[in-house]
Chains A and B, each alone.
Chain A
Amino acid sequence: MRKINCIVNSKPVSLEVEDGRTLVDMLRQDLGLTGTKKGCGTGDCGACTVLLDGVSVNSCICLAALADGHEITTIEGLQKDGKLSDIQQAFIDHGAVQCGFCSPGMIMSAEYLLENNPDPSDEEIRRALSGNLCRCTGYQQIVDAVRDVAASRRQAD
C-alpha cells in the first residue's frame, strides 16, 4: 500500500492505494470519479485521458503513485460554477457526442491542445486528438467543435 496526496479537480485528496494501482482505477474506483473512461487499459484509445499538472496523459498507463504531490484534472473538474467549459458546450452544439464514451477523454485532449495552441490548423487539431479513438462520429463534428472554440476564444481575447 502507498499513501497518495494530490489535488484532484482543485480539491486536496489523500488516500492509500495498492502499489500497482493505475491512475484510472484510482480515479474511477477509489475516488468514484467514473467520468473518466477505460476503453482499453493499454494506452491505445485515449478514453482515460486526464490532465496531470495540465498535461494530458493516458491514466490507464500511469501508476497512481505518479499523482502523488501533483494536480489532476478530470472531466468532472471542467465545469466552473456549474457552467460548462466552452469545449464541452461546443461538443454539444456541433453534435460531436454520440455514444459519449470517448467524449471525456476527447474533451480533455482538446482542453490541452487549446491551452497550448490557441490557433490550431485542422491538421493540428487532428494530430492533437489522434490519441483519442472515436468509433461513432468519424471525427468531423469533433474537429468542427474544437476549431469553433479556438476561433471564439481568439475573438474574446
Chain B
Amino acid sequence: MGVVGTGQARSDAFDKVTGRALYTDDYSMAGQLYAVLVRSPYPHALIESITVPPLGPDCFVFTAADLKNNYIPCIFNDQPVFASDKVRHHGEPVAVAAAPTLEGAHALAESVQVVYRPLGIVDDMLHALDDDAPKLFEKGNLCTEFHSLKGDPEAEFGACALVLEHSYDMPVQAHGFLEPEAAFSYIGDDGRLVLISSTQNSFGDRFTVCNALGLDLQSVVSTAATVGGAFGGKDGNTTQIYAAIVTHFTRRPVRCVFTRQENIRWGMKRHAARVDARAGFSSDGHLIAFSGHIRFDTGAYAMLGPSVLRLGMEHMCGPYFVPNVKLDGELVYTNHAPASAMRGFGAPQGAIAIESFMNEAAGKLGLSVLEIRKINAIRTGCAGPMGGEFEHSIGFAQALSAFEKTAFWDEMKNRPLKGVGYGVAAGMMSSGLGKHVPDSCHVSIDRQSDGSFVVSTSLIDMGQGSATALAQIAADCLGVGFGQIRMRMGCTEGTGDSGSTAASRSTFVCGNAIALAAKKILGGENHAEARFDFPEAGGEAVHTMFAFIVQGVKLSVDRADGSVRLLDMVSITDTGRVINPTLLDGQVFGGVVMSCGYTLSESIRYRDGKSRETDFGNYTIPTSLDAPALENHIVEVPEACGPFGARGMAECPTVAVAPAIVTAVRSLCPDADISSLPIDRYQLMEKKHGVCSSHT
C-alpha cells in the first residue's frame, strides 16, 4: 500500500501551525537596510529630471542610471526596472531608496525630487485604440492580437435554431495572497549575492537580477522562502530586483517588502476584459457555431499578457465541441497598473459567456443544464476550437454524470427550496505552459546515508501543497515511506531550471521527472537526475491536457438591499488520478471562494488612472461568513502519461464559479441585467416605480 491517493498530511504543516516556518519577511540580519520605492504620482508623464538630495551615512538611492540593462525580461521586454524617461502608470517605480530603518527609507524616498510633465491618459481600455487616444508606446496601444477561424461560423449562425448573444465587462481582480510581496538579499560568505524571496520562479528572478546588473549567472543564488500564497501574482518581478540592486551596490543585507497598499494598488492583477460572444445551437441542443471576441486590459506593460490572451481565447468555448469557431482578441495598453498571470489565466473572463449560453439554451430548448452539456461535451480525440485535437484523457462526461447523482442535483431538480436560486456551470483549464514555451522539469534524487532520500527541483510550493504531493509520488516510486522523503525546492542551486511554478503543471511535469529519476535510483544509483518535457500539443492547439469541473451553487438574494448570500457550492472535479484528495479539496475550495469574490465583491476600479481601492478595507475578499459551505467530489479518469495517472488542476476551480452564481442570481432576479462583474447590487434590488426601493 503506497501513499499516493491518501490524504497524507502536509509535510510543512507543523512548521506553519507553530509559527516556525520562515517567510521572507521573517529573515533579518545585522546591518540590514530597508528598501522603499520612489513611485510615480502620475499615471502618464514624461520625466524631466530626477534629483537625489545629498545622502546621509547609510542612505542610498539607485535609479535606471545605475543599471546595465533597464528592463525586466519577459515576453516583450517592454517594462523598465525603473522608469527613466516616461512613467506609464500611477505608482510606477522610478528609484529605490534604502536606509537602516523603514521610516528612514520612506523619508529618503520622499526626498527624491522627480520633475514630471503630465500627459493625457488612457483610462478606459475600450478607448485605448481610438485615433485620438494618448499613446503609451510609439507603436501605439495595441500590445498584441489573436485571430483564429475554424469552419464558417457566420454562415452557420443563419441556419441555427437558436442564436444567443451577450457582452460582459469583467473586473480587475487582485490576487489577495495574505503575504505581501517580499524579498531579502545579502552577500553570502562566498561573495555571491543571495536572494531569498516570495516567488514562483527562482531561476527567473536570478536572470532578472543578473540581466539588470550585468552579472554572471553564477554570481547570484536565488531561492524561495516559505511563500504565503501567490496565485500567479508572484510569477515575475515584484520586489526581488529592488532588494538585489541595493545589496549589489551596498554589499549590505536588504529587505524589500510591499505594504498591502502597494500590493492592492500596484501588484500584478487579473486582466479586466470586455467579452462579446455569440453561440448558435441546433434545435436538438448541439452547439454549431461560436464567435467570441475579448479585449484584455494589460495595463502599462505586456508582462505575461500575450500568453493570457492566447489561453483566454483558446478556452473561450469551454469544454464543448464546436465545429465552427471564430476567435478574435486583443491585448491593449492603458495607464493602469500592469496585469499579468492570475489563477485561471484568461479563462474565467470568457467562461461566463459560454456557460451562461449553455444554461439559457437548455431552458429554451427544453433540455436540462446537464443534458445540453453532455450533448456537447468534448471527448478525447475530438477537434479543439482552433483545430488540433484533444489528445489526452478527459473525464468531463463522467463528471456530468457524477453531478447527476449528487444530493444537490436531486434537490434542484425535484424539490427546489422556495426563495433559493440554483445555478450550474462547468469549466476546463489547461495545464502546462503551452506551445512554444519551454516546459520541462529537472529533478535530482540523492540517497542519504541513513537510507532516506532528498528530492530536489526548482519548482516551488507556494502553499498549494506540491511539496507534499511530490513527496508522495517519490515515496511510491522509490517504494519507501513518506517520512523517508525530503523535498528541497525552489533554489537555483542543485538542479536545472524547471521554469515557473505556474500553469497547473507541477504535479504532472515534476511527478513524471521524479518517476524517471526514481527508476535510476532503483537501478542502484545513489544520485540520479532526470528531466521530463511536457508533451506538446499537436495541430493548432496551444495546450493539450486539461482538468474539468462541474459546479453547482445554491444562494439567496435579499431584494431589499440586493445582497447575495451563498449557501452551498458543490464541485465535481476530474483531474485524472488524485495524488492527495485532501490537498485536492483544498485547491478546489480555495479556487471556488476566490472566484466567489470575483463574482460578488472584488474589483479594482480606476479613476483618472488611479485605483480607488487601496487596501483590504475597501478591496474586499470573501471572509468565512461570505464563503458558502463547500463540497467536492472526484471522478478519476486516469491520464496514460501522467504520474500515477494524474493531470494538473490547481487553476480549474476558478473558471466556472461566476457563471454558476450569475445563473442562480438570474433565476431569482429575472429583471436584473447582469452584464458585468462583480454583480451590481442595485441591479438586484426590487424596482418600485422604476427606482430602487432602498439604497445602501
Contact = CB atoms under 8 A, between A and B. Distances in A.
A95 B22 contact: no
A4 to B, nearest CB: 19
Contacts of B627: 126, 138-140
B328 interface: no
A98 B630 contact: no
A139 B462 contact: no
A127 B685 CA distance: 26
B19 A95 contact: no
A91 B13 contact: yes
Contacts of A140: 585, 589, 627, 629-630
Interface residues of A, number: 56
Contacts of A97: 10, 12-13, 16-17
A84 B179 CA distance: 24
Contacts of B177: 99, 101, 135
Contact of A99 (B7, B28, B178, B180): B178
Chain B, interface SS category: loop
Contacts of A92: 9-10, 13-14, 17
Interface stretch (B164-172, B319-327, B370-378, B614-622): B614-622
Interface residues of B, number: 56
B465 interface: yes
Contacts of A79: 18
A42 interface: yes
Contacts of B9: 92-93, 95
A44 B619 CA distance: 10
B196 interface: no
Contacts of A28: 26
Nearest to A122: B629
Interface in B457-490: 462-465
B617 A141 contact: no
B17 A103 contact: yes
Given A74-B19, A122-B629, A95 B179 contact: no
Interface string B1-31: 0000001011011111111111101101000
Given A38-B25, A100-B228, A136-B463, A76 B10 contact: no
Interface in A74-109: 74-76, 78-79, 84, 88-89, 91-95, 97-104, 107
Interface in B180-201: 180
Nearest to A39: B178
B17 A107 contact: yes
Interface in A29-64: 29, 33-42, 44-45, 47
A150 interface: no
Point out which of B15, B21, B177, B465 has the most chain A C-beta atoms below 10 A from its C-beta.
Answer: B21
A88 B18 contact: yes
B229 interface: yes
Interface in A122-148: 122, 125-127, 129-143
A97 B23 CA distance: 15
Point out which of A36, A45, A92, A99 has the most chain B C-beta atoms below 10 A from its C-beta.
Answer: A99
Contact of A76 (B12, B19, B593): B19
A97 B12 CA distance: 9
B260 interface: yes
Contacts of B591: 138
Given A37-B179, A39-B179, A135-B178, A126 B624 contact: yes
Contacts of B179: 37, 39, 99, 101
B214 interface: no
A137 B14 CA distance: 17
Interface string B215-256: 000000000001111010000000000000000000000000
Point out which of B17, B18, B588, B617 has the most chain A C-beta atoms below 10 A from its C-beta.
Answer: B17
A150 B25 CA distance: 33
Contacts of A84: 14, 17-18
B469 to A, nearest CB: 12
Interface string B22-50: 11011010000000000000000000000
Point out which of B25, B177, B463, B615 has the most chain A C-beta atoms below 10 A from its C-beta.
Answer: B463
Interface in B148-176: 175-176
Given A95-B10, A95-B585, A100 B259 contact: no
A28 B228 CA distance: 17
Contact of B463 (A38, A98, A133): A98
Given A88-B17, A100-B16, A107-B17, A44 B589 contact: no
B616 A138 contact: no
Interface in B614-658: 615-617, 621, 623-625, 627, 629-630
B664 interface: no
A5 to B, nearest CB: 23
11 contacts: A35-B19, A39-B260, A42-B617, A44-B616, A74-B19, A101-B178, A133-B616, A135-B590, A136-B178, A140-B589, A140-B627
Interface of B: 7, 9-10, 12-23, 25-26, 28, 175-180, 226-229, 231, 259-260, 462-465, 582-583, 585-586, 588-594, 615-617, 621, 623-625, 627, 629-630
Interface of A: 28-29, 33-42, 44-45, 47, 74-76, 78-79, 84, 88-89, 91-95, 97-104, 107, 122, 125-127, 129-143
